[in-house]
Structure 1
Amino acid sequence: MDALPMTPVEQIKSRLSTADVVGSYIKIVRAGANLKGVCPFHAEKSPSFFVSPARDSWHCFGCGKGGDQFSFVMDMEGVDFKEALEILARKAGVELRTENPKERSERARLFSLLEEAAAWYTGNLAHYPEVVTYLRKRGVAQETIASFQIGYALPVSNGWRAFTEQAIKKGYTPDELIKAGLAIKKGEQNGSASATSLYDRFRNRIMFPIADYNSRIIGFGGRIFPMESGSVSNGEREPAKYINSPQTILYDKSRVLYAFDKAKGAMRKENNCILVEGYMDAIMAHQAGTAYTVAVSGTALTEYQLQALKRLSERISTAFDMDEAGESATRRSIDLALEMGFDVRAITIPGSKDPADLIAEDVSVWTTQVEAADTIVSFFLQKALAKHDPETIGGKQGISKSVLPLIARIPQHVEKAHWVSVVASRLGVREDAVWADLQNIKNTPQTHTSKAEEKETVVPAYRGRAQLLEERLLGMLLAYGLAVPVDVTEDLFSTESARVILRSYRQQKDSKASLESLDPELRSMANKYMLETELAVAKENAPEEVTSCMEALRREALKKHLEKIEGDIRRAEGAGNTQQVSVLIQEFTALSKQLTSL
């Protein structure tokens, strides 16, 4: 029977090892059977990032990230799995056949057409120095204009079809111009478009190319170039200040953040992302040295956009318009970000200016405000306190209405408890009253959290001694292929993830087969345990260490049981139940002797 053909993922893994991929991004050096380097995902001086060639995996003991070739590229490039697959396929020379060849060819031509458009728009600046003068007056430096490929779409005085005619001369078809969002067909004509039935979508506009996360141009935003007084005839509609490319097979505004491709490296380094509203805001923020800035371009944040940010940064600092008109849309974005576990901050812009105008006026003020960004709950609490009197019932209600919905969406219990305490203190009420109101808030179901994010809770943030012992025991069994002792049972382990890993290894009786049977999250955990073991325990010492770990785990279990009995004794004494106290003391004494004998 013929073997099944390898999948694209299998082909890539057969040609590119994890060490190959990681080594193409960062410097890694030999460390025994493994490789080590400085982690690219968090600031560190001593290397805590390790690659295991034997298991074709990586793990950082500093920040906890880990996985295979694909997860590394996803984190490094800030892309999803599909895009990581495409990047690695190109590196490995693997042809992906998931797309229809005709559709793939069409996408390639549209990318090329959009690059052609960007080059044409930037070339126009040389013939329209007044556009450059306007940009310079707004504070945009010449090198920034070039870096962001800012251009100009010709005015109507040059005709309605200036770029369309240029593109057709280059061999592009009318249908391609429409599909790329660069041209519009006159009227509601049916069938394929002809050259004469089209006109340029963008005219007399300063052009901002919009790139995907791999710096490929997928669309444009166009700002009307300020026209002289009297340039619009009586009765003629004033053109929109901004227009963007329509939805195309390349451009989906719900999945794109302007300047993300330029910001992703700085976002990872700073563990922060500044969110602004407009193209000019983002451009000027980059020019000001805050290169970890992206723009939402007039749309509310979506789950997809936040997931892309989450791969690179745990913090979001918003520099949005917070007036009454803009607050509603902003709050929806903030709610979603809080539910996804972001540390959300608010940057206060003095004088109700746009970030771009503030930076052009005084870049030092912008830098100061960025550094002073307040937590989002504190920001809205201060705003509510300035608007409402906390001494009155109505004021207390107004403040609660503004702040409690935000607190309700914070997933971390400790942080939530902190803000409940703060709000109770500011309102002069008991904390349980705030908790009661918080419980009454009808929270939006947590549908925004992806499965991958839900799985993050599999690994507890705090690792106590018992858990460290469990991980070391599993690591030694898996790393060195040791037989599972009869008295190592699942009830010896405190977490379900550890029990699943033990069960898999016991059933498979082989480390490699066991790892392959686990889901990606548990496989990453098991690889981490094995790497930790290899760094800490020599193979020849492993059997003795296994025995030592088992004894220590039994002691930890007995200590935990004794702590529980202590609590039971206190409660029984408080209830005046002397008979139960006597029974519990006897049990406590017996277990204490057992602990001493171990």
Structure 2
Amino acid sequence: MVNEEKQIYHCFGCAKGGDVFSFVQEIESMEFREVLKILAEKAGVQLEEFKGGQQAGDNKKRILDALELATKFYETQLVKGPGKEKIMDYLHGRAINDENIQKFRLGYAPAGWDNMLKFLSQRGYSLDEIEKTGLLVKKENGAGYYDRFRDRIMFPVMDIMGKVVGYSARVAPGQDESQAKYINTPESLVYHKSKVLYGLSLAKNEIKQKNYVLLVEGNLDVIASSQAGLGNVVAVSGTALTPDQVIMLKRYSENIAMLFDMDSAGQLAAQKSADLCLQKGVNVKIVTLADGKDAADVAQKNPELLLDAVRKSTPAMEYFFEQALKKHDRNSAEGKRNIAKDVLAHVVHIESQIEKSHWIKKIAHEVDVEEKVVNDVLKTVDSNSGKLTEENLPMAEKSSNFQKRSDILRDSMLGAIMRSAKVWEEIFDKENESEWVGREALISSVLRKGKEANFSFDQMLANIGDNATIERLRKIYFNTEFGFNDGISEYDENDVRQMAQGYIGQYIKELQKERLHSIIKEIEKAERSGDKEVLKKLMGQLTELSQAIK
């Protein structure tokens, strides 16, 4: 119930109520500050306390008014202007009907260098004002401006209240394919691409009603999905999903289903977007389409197929886990390592510790290792990138502050060596008699027992009777994958060989540095005791070792 006279409301269903401010907050899912600005604008009241004061408010209004005029110009050109037929034919060919063309305010920027410049200039806007809308580009020599959008289909980008703040513009059919397919409005006083989502102003109510949002890649995907009966659809419009956008969507629902293109680029974008949602505590699902099609293609040819795919969406972590199991052999050590690697790259982003624990247990069960091993690997993964933090070397554990750097390098080196039977054998043949191998029992054991097991990691573990050593080697084997993974699932022998040789060189140099520090301490001790004979010997060793390190 709304009482206009008293300016209060009350919902008998949910027992919520309040004044005009809380009413708009509830309906529009806005912060109080945003509501205050909107209501003040409607009432013609200037809020001086907000940043920028009167001048900034006036400038913003001029830009918004200019963009509204520009949108009407583009809409008119689509219906009445020259070249309208090819654009309408294209849109109708994509199964976009006239109702949705009007709903999403699609338009056409005609060919020519100064159509918009002249249009807005004739309506009292200065060149400086028009440039601030993002509709003009300054010439390289600085002598004048030209229209940014020429012979392009115009998709207005609107803020949450439906005001046009910018554009995404697609090259018209038949144009030179070498130019950018889509270009967008640059950042401006009113347009911040990290804080807007295409279609949100039209979808927000249905998002709240259905309690989930369908996130797609492009503008046409939004329109086609909407036409297929999905009114809760928004797009990121050519940019990666941002934290601000996730927070904005959470105001309407904490459930997001992602439907990105099925090509490698689309799936990578889906993974990154899902990770961001996991960080923000959002329930995220993945929608998949067969045959590598996108939402617009499916909606055009078989709308029911699109609706069915959305209904069958899979929780993101389950999807990532299933993909890892399909991709790798869970019966081999390498396959187990890769399964853990792929899944933990997403687990690290999960906000809930309970959910993290669930997936750690599931991974441990699937790859048949102790939970502690999986948890130790997880601790080395950077929550921002899904990789090791820069300050940690590849084999560093969370407790690496208590490890010598040579120990960390040793484990990294062994992990790389054990990855490839061919490289393992080469290292054995070349280095087995080297002095540095004999200084560390674990290294000589791996090389010797690797030889006995025909350089098979699984067979070597089967030949080792000590459970503690088995778990230690498993941990080294699993952790090292994160050390040289760079978003690529498989490496050839040259990659592994280069990695192993690099670690060997670093390890030997680190042993030399440790010996150098030890000699310096011995020199200090000899100086205090006055033992000149020992001091002379140590100084010789110091000189020799310093030259070797160089």
* Smaller-chain TM-score bracket: 0.5 to 0.7
Structure 2: 5+ residue stretches without partners: 387-550
In the TM superposition, residue 332 of structure 1 has moved relative to its aligned partner by 2.9
Asked whether 1:209 is paired with 2:160, we answer no
Match of 1:79 among 30, 55, 63: 30
Amino acid at match of 1:88: L
State the partner residue of 2:85.
129
CA-to-partner distance for each residue in 1:37-82, whole Å, 9 max, x for gaps? 25xxxxxxxx23243xxxxxx6xxxxxxxxx865653442133443
State the partner residue of 1:108.
61
In the TM superposition, residue 287 of structure 1 has moved relative to its aligned partner by 1.3
| Alignment of structure 1 residues 485-564 onto 2, 5 Å | none
Give the Cα separation in 1 of the matches to 2:361 and 2:241.
30
Give the Cα separation in 1 of the matches to 2:288 and 2:228.
17
Q: Is the 8 A contact 1:75 1:312 kept in 2?
A: no
State the partner residue of 2:165.
218
* Local SS of the residue matching 1:218: strand
Amino acid at match of 2:173: P
Distance change >3 Å, CA 353–CA 20, structure 1 → 2: farther
Asked whether 1:152 is paired with 2:115, we answer no
State the partner residue of 1:138.
94
Amino acid at match of 2:162: S
Asked whether 1:89 is paired with 2:34, we answer no
Match of 2:250 among 302, 310, 325: 310
In the TM superposition, residue 326 of structure 1 has moved relative to its aligned partner by 4.1
Match of 2:130 among 156, 172, 177: 177
Give the Cα separation in 2 of the matches to 1:411 and 1:174.
48
Give the Cα separation in 2 of the matches to 1:238 and 1:186.
21
Give the Cα separation in 2 of the matches to 1:248 and 1:188.
22
Q: Is the 8 A contact 1:300 1:330 kept in 2?
A: no
In the TM superposition, residue 429 of structure 1 has moved relative to its aligned partner by 3.6
Give the Cα separation in 2 of the matches to 1:132 and 1:290.
23
Give the Cα separation in 2 of the matches to 1:75 and 1:255.
20
Distance change >3 Å, CA 219–CA 136, structure 1 → 2: same
| Alignment of structure 1 residues 198-597 onto 2, 5 Å | 198-227=145-174, 232=176, 238-321=178-261, 323-444=263-384
Task: Give % identity.
Answer: 37
Distance change >3 Å, CA 407–CA 92, structure 1 → 2: same
In the TM superposition, residue 18 of structure 1 has moved relative to its aligned partner by 12
Amino acid at match of 1:211: M
In the TM superposition, residue 361 of structure 1 has moved relative to its aligned partner by 1.1
State the partner residue of 1:9.
none
State the partner residue of 1:117.
70
Distance change >3 Å, CA 224–CA 264, structure 1 → 2: same
Return the TM-score normalized by structure 2.
Answer: 0.65
Give the Cα separation in 1 of the matches to 2:86 and 2:304.
28
* Local SS of the residue matching 2:168: strand
Give the Cα separation in 2 of the matches to 1:283 and 1:325.
21
Give the Cα separation in 1 of the matches to 2:206 and 2:351.
26
Distance change >3 Å, CA 416–CA 258, structure 1 → 2: same
Distance change >3 Å, CA 151–CA 387, structure 1 → 2: same
Give the Cα separation in 2 of the matches to 1:203 and 1:114.
16
Match of 2:117 among 164, 184, 191: 164
Amino acid at match of 1:164: L
In the TM superposition, residue 408 of structure 1 has moved relative to its aligned partner by 2.6
Distance change >3 Å, CA 151–CA 91, structure 1 → 2: closer
Give the Cα separation in 1 of the matches to 2:306 and 2:173.
26
Give the Cα separation in 2 of the matches to 1:20 and 1:307.
33
Q: Is the 8 A contact 1:17 1:69 kept in 2?
A: no
Distance change >3 Å, CA 143–CA 18, structure 1 → 2: closer
State the partner residue of 1:4.
none
* Local SS of the residue matching 1:208: strand
Give the Cα separation in 2 of the matches to 1:355 and 1:425.
36
Return the TM-score normalized by structure 1.
Answer: 0.60
CA-to-partner distance for each residue in 1:60-115, whole Å, 9 max, x for gaps? xxxxxxxx865653442133443212123246664311343222222111111111
* Local SS of the residue matching 1:172: coil
Structure 1: 5+ residue stretches without partners: 1-15, 29-36, 39-46, 52-57, 59-67, 447-598
Distance change >3 Å, CA 143–CA 22, structure 1 → 2: farther
Q: Is the 8 A contact 1:18 1:69 kept in 2?
A: no
* Local SS of the residue matching 1:49: coil
Q: Is the 8 A contact 2:87 2:173 kept in 1?
A: no
- Root-mean-square deviation over aligned CA pairs: 2.6
Distance change >3 Å, CA 444–CA 19, structure 1 → 2: farther
